Amino acid sequence: MFGLNLWMTIAMLIWLSVLFILGAMSPMFLVGWLVLGIIAGVAMVMKIDGRTLAEWSSLTMQFNRAKKKGKTVYRSGPFSNIPGGHYRLPGVLATFSCADRRSLAGPFAVIHNPRDHEFTVVFDIKPQGMDLADPDVVDGWVDQWGGVLTSWGEDADVVGATAVVETFPSSGMKVTTEVRRITSPQAPELAQRIMAEAGDMQSNQRLEMSCRLSITVKADTEAKRRDATVAVADLARRIPHMVNRLNAAGVSARVMTTEEVVTFVKRAYSSASQVDMELAAAEPGGHGVEWVDAGPSHAEQTLTTYVHDGAISSTWEMREPPRGYVGHQVLRPLTARNDDMPTKRVAICYRPHSGADAARLVDSDANNKTEKVKQERQYRKFARAKSEQDAAAAANARHAEAMGHGLTRFGMFVTTTVPAPAVGPDGQVSESRLPDTEAVMKSLAQRGRLRLRRCYASQQISFAAGLGIGVIVPNQATASALLKA
């Protein structure tokens, strides 16, 4: 009621009942407390940054209860209570597993969520870029991407997908190692020197960019739920078709292996291990880090930050999508490399509707928006421009759905990571760079016409969801009420 949860609604009803009983004995007592109750009630239902004061208070109380129970601090490794002394992933990822399987497209990693019977594959994405592409080619890519979204709604078992664009400081090790690998010892000395200089120039780039896409499917039959190998075999047959669809949308897609998945997960949770991981990856046997050791040795969640292995991360969520005309470059300022925010991860989370649900939802939305415009014209003589724009957009969505387009829910997480304050040789504690990144984040969001807000009391699960490894936030009991919307 009025944006309050069940327990707060019950408490309000009890309070009103007691108030009227006591007020029958003293009318002045009733008037005073009634006025005070009205003021408190209005304050509780007023929305601040998209949430009522009651919701903010509820989130804070839930977090404080978890903190008192020690649930906001995580430790792993040989001196922890983790079985085997492993560095397991924290939170909802603790029960996830990852293993390599084979398909016609080659070996691929399958991330298994046994609680929800979900399986996730991750694709390494190499966008072709728009610098040398004609407008009609770009339009074709956008149209094909719309086809990809529609196909997810047609496949009843696809429950979510996450597109991630990540930037992070480059160590230069991967470029140097690759140049050495492809340079023949029998090549002329001049050619070897040119290759070495070219590798040095590329390795000196300060920031590296990585793109990936994860697709999560749910076991929709009893046989798949009972035997995971049946679900994995079905997924393996579909991977070549997924790759072809993504290639048609203007990206070069390649399914990732467990070693590659562990690499970016470990880098996210323990950025200090990046150089060691890249050095070990150059060896014939790879880096050798398994999924059970991809997590941090220490992590702690606060109301607005996530501290992990000498770094501090903060995740923002999209409160409102871009307004007005949305071009294909609307997110470019947010996803591009930025020296003021070197470690950044932008994740767009998709949850497709089925065809039947899509038709029902667009019809209902169009009717509601049209009725709203009629009411405003009736009572105010004219409708607000925003209401008319929403009604037109709803009508266009209804027409597009009738033409065969899909309907997909989407949200966005933006995570920034900075080094944690450290004590120097002189005993001085370095200042945190997190306030600076917050100012940069607001600027980038405004350029992309987005409205972002910091995730409150849900930093750990938001951080995990932004990795793109199969965390579907609405399925998790620890998510806040807004994230479940």
- pLDDT for 424: 53
> 355 CB contacts (<8 Å, ≥6 apart)?
153, 154, 406
- Determine the average pLDDT of the residues in 459-465: 94
Nearest to 314 by CA among 234, 392, 420, 237: 420
Confidence of residue 236 (pLDDT cuts 50, 70, 90): very high
Query: Can you spell out the DSSP letters for 379-418?
Result: HHSS--HHHHHHHHHHHHHHHHHHTT---EEEEEEEEEEE
Q: What is the pLDDT of residues 143-154, one digit of tens each?
A: 888 889 888 988
Banded model confidence at residue 46, pLDDT cuts 50, 70, 90: low
Domain boundaries, the chain: 6-57, 76-169+208-353+406-475, 171-205
Q: What predicted TM-score, i.e. pTM, was given to this entire model?
A: 0.84
CA distance linking residue 63 with residue 45, whole number of Å: 21
Q: How far apart are CA 110 and CA 118, in angstroms?
A: 10
pLDDT in tens, 50-105: 677 777 777 888 888 888 888 899 999 998 989 899 999 999 999 999 999 988 87
Q: How many CA atoms lie within 13 A of 106 on its CB side?
A: 8
What mean pLDDT do residues 35-49 have? 64
Tell me whether residue 378 is exposed, middle or buried, using C-beta atoms within 10 angstroms of its C-beta: 0 to 12, 13 to 18, 19 or more: exposed
Q: Looking at residue 100, what is its pLDDT?
A: 93
Write out pLDDT tens, residues 421-452. 764 555 554 556 777 788 888 888 888 888 89
- Can you give the pLDDT at residue 204? 65
- Across the range 13-24, mean pLDDT stands at 62
Please work out, in degrees rounded to the nearest 5, the angle formed at the alpha carbon of residue 289 by the alpha carbons of 210 and 415. Answer: 35
DSSP characters over 179-229: HHHHS-TTS-HHHHHHHHHHHHHHHT-SEEEEEEEEEEEE--SHHHHH-HH
Query: In this predicted structure, which of 79-88, 106-115, 136-145 has the lowest mean pLDDT?
Result: 136-145
Query: Would you state the pLDDT for residue 110?
Result: 97
Give the integer Cα–Cα distance in Å for 449 and 252.
28
| pLDDT (average), residues 210-216 | 96
Report pLDDT for 481.
39
Q: Cβ distance 387 to 377 under 8 Å?
A: no
- Letter for the amino acid at 420? A
Give me the pLDDT at residue 97, please: 96
Give the model's pLDDT for residue 62.
84
Cα Dmax for the chain: 103
| Average pLDDT in the chain | 83
Work out the pLDDT band at 38, boundaries 50, 70, 90: low
φ, ψ of residue 288 to 5 degrees: the values are 75, 5
**pLDDT the model gives residue 219:** 92
Which helix or strand (DSSP H or E) is residue 29 part of? Answer: helix 27-45
Return the sign of the alpha-carbon dihedral for residues 154, 158, 162, 163: negative
More confident residue, 11 or 316: 316
The predicted structure's pLDDT at residue 431: 55
CB 97 within 8 Å of CB 265: no
Tokens of 402: 């009738």
Q: Are 58 and 44 in contact (CB under 8 A)?
A: no
Specify the pLDDT at position 482: 38
CB 424 within 8 A of CB 170: no
In the prediction, which pLDDT does 30 show? Answer: 56
Position 480 scores a pLDDT of 45
Structure tokens of 342?
């070197």
Percentage of residues of the chain with pLDDT beyond 90: 34
- Of 116 and 404, the structure prediction assigns the larger pLDDT to 116
What residues contact residue 66 under an 8 Å CB cut-off, 6+ apart?
72
pLDDT at 483 (0 to 100): 40
